[in-house]
Amino acid sequence: MDASLRHGRASLAVSFFSQGVVFALLVTRIPAIQDRYGISDGLLPVFLAAVPILAGAGSVATEHLVKRVRPSVVLRWVQPLVALVLVAAGSGNAMWQIAVALGLFGICVGGLDASMNMLGVSLQRTYGRSIMLGFHAAYSLGGITGASLAWAGAHWHLSLAVLYAPVAVVLIPLVLMASRWYVDQRPEPVAEGAAAPVATPVVMRLLLPLCLVMAFAYIGDSTVSNWSAKYLQDTLGSSEQLSTVPYNIYMVTTLLGRAAGDLGVRRFGGAAVVRAGTVLAAVGFGVVAAAPGPWAGMLGFTLLGFGLCVIVPTTFAAAGRLFPGASDTAIARLNIFNYVGFLIGAPLVGAIGDAWSYRGAMLIPMVLVLATLLYAKSFDTGEARYGVGHERPRTADVG
């Protein structure tokens, strides 16, 4: 394997890890941000909703930007900017300052997520085997690291600026250094005498099943991140301390599942891995909904982590396979539904929980995640389209 590809893979993993750290530091300290700026409970949802909406806009902008500059250039400069915006969010005092900071954070995160996954899909394609889940495992590890730092900051009563600034000081030089080895999409090898491949335009009708799968997965993910603690404490009767455990378990199982996921894709194919993850996630939601007590609830969240974790990276890879000549455009459009799911998930579960019951509310993401099975054929590998036959057909991944 070309050394530049190995370096590109390692450097992109650093980028995914760094983004996991930064995002976790923001979302886990939302209560502290609310207190610092005096944001009312009624206004807070507006701020929180604006971030994914603007992130979607950032993803759309990135689709057009990468037609002029390489995705690696976008990622190289937008990632340090995200870290600087995080510091700004923890350093201001006026309402307009946090509004501007969160707005910039949303737009930049949209570009960051899109460009990272563009590079991941194209690098996987060049490798000729599944490596996308490993990148998302690095993101999960970053999330665990960021959440741990946030816990330490809260425990030692550190201000947001004191917590965020050292992280930015470490991460910005790290990602700038790693960016030297990013690998952009390479032209596909063409056999002697064969015609050059023709770029396939992105047809939303064909991409839509994957967009729905992405939204369903993030509805499930946002349900866990936003409601697991409240559900365990209010519905299953756990202590306040115990109620913080499910999300930590979910993050760890997400890391473990993604770390092993590439091997599963190589051995069984993307469609089989997505089907298995979907069923496991649905069983997890069922266990959570029916749990007689907190320990059974934690078992359900554990199953959810192992099930949901494989769906998102495999969906990105499937989009790259579906549109091999226009994968950057496909990834940018698919990435929007990441934020659609995030935006819908928490309010949907909350509204149903208040109107009916939180046990019943857990069945809604279960049904939506199960709907992924209807679109499983979108993950069939068929012709791997790598052009050089790195793997046997039964082990070809979906990228």
CA atoms within 13 A on the CB side of 376: 16
| Domain 3-181: homologous superfamily in CATH | MFS general substrate transporter like domains (1.20.1250.20)
% residues pLDDT > 90 (the chain): 81
Asked if residue 1 has pLDDT above 80, the reply is: no
Q: Long-range contact list for 357-365, CB < 8 A, 24+ apart?
A: 358/227, 358/230, 358/231, 358/234, 358/235, 359/235, 359/289, 359/290, 360/289, 361/227, 362/223, 362/231, 362/285, 362/288, 362/289, 363/285, 363/286, 363/289, 365/216, 365/219, 365/220, 365/223, 365/285
Q: In the prediction, which pLDDT does 344 show?
A: 95
Three-state SS at 195 = coil
| Average pLDDT for 200-216 | 93
Distances (CA, A) of 145 to 7, 14, 29, 109, 151: 23, 13, 14, 18, 10
* Domains 3-181 and 204-395 belong to one CATH topology: yes
Check pLDDT > 50 for residue 339.
yes
- How much is the pLDDT for 185? 87
Residue 261 has pLDDT above 80, yes or no: yes
pLDDT at residue 389, as a whole number: 37
Which band of pLDDT confidence, cut at 50, 70 and 90, is reported for residue 396?
very low
- Residues 6 or more apart in contact with residue 6 via CB below 8 angstroms: none
CA atoms within 13 A of residue 223's CA, in its CB half-sphere: 34
Angle (nearest 5°) at CA 317 between 175 and 145: 40
Per-residue model confidence as pLDDT tens digits over 341-394: 999 998 999 999 999 999 999 999 999 999 999 999 899 865 444 333 333 333
| Average pLDDT of the residues of the chain | 91
Annotate 232-245 with three-state secondary structure.
HHHHCCCCCCHHHH
Cβ proximity of 387 and 190 under 8 Å:
yes
CA 85, 90, 95, 99 torsion-angle sign: positive
Domain map (residue ranges) of the chain: 3-181, 204-395
Between 71-89 and 160-178, two packed helices, what is the crossing angle to 10 degrees? 170
Report CA 266 to chain centroid distance, whole Å.
21
3-state secondary structure of 13: helix
Lowest mean pLDDT among 41-45, 49-53, 99-103, 169-173: 41-45
Q: pLDDT by residue (tens digit) across 18-30? A: 999 999 999 888 9
pLDDT for residue 276 is more than 70 = yes
Q: What's the rounded mean pLDDT across residues 281-296?
A: 97
pLDDT tens digit sequence for 182-203: 999 876 655 555 555 566 689 9
pLDDT band at residue 2 using 50, 70 and 90 as cut-offs = confident
d(CA 272, CA 265): 8
Confidence of residue 325 (pLDDT cuts 50, 70, 90): confident
- 204-395: CATH topology is Growth Hormone; Chain: A; (1.20.1250)
| Nearest-angstrom CA–CA distance, 159 and 164 | 9
Cα-Cα-Cα-Cα torsion 253, 255, 260, 261, nearest 10 degrees, comes to: 90
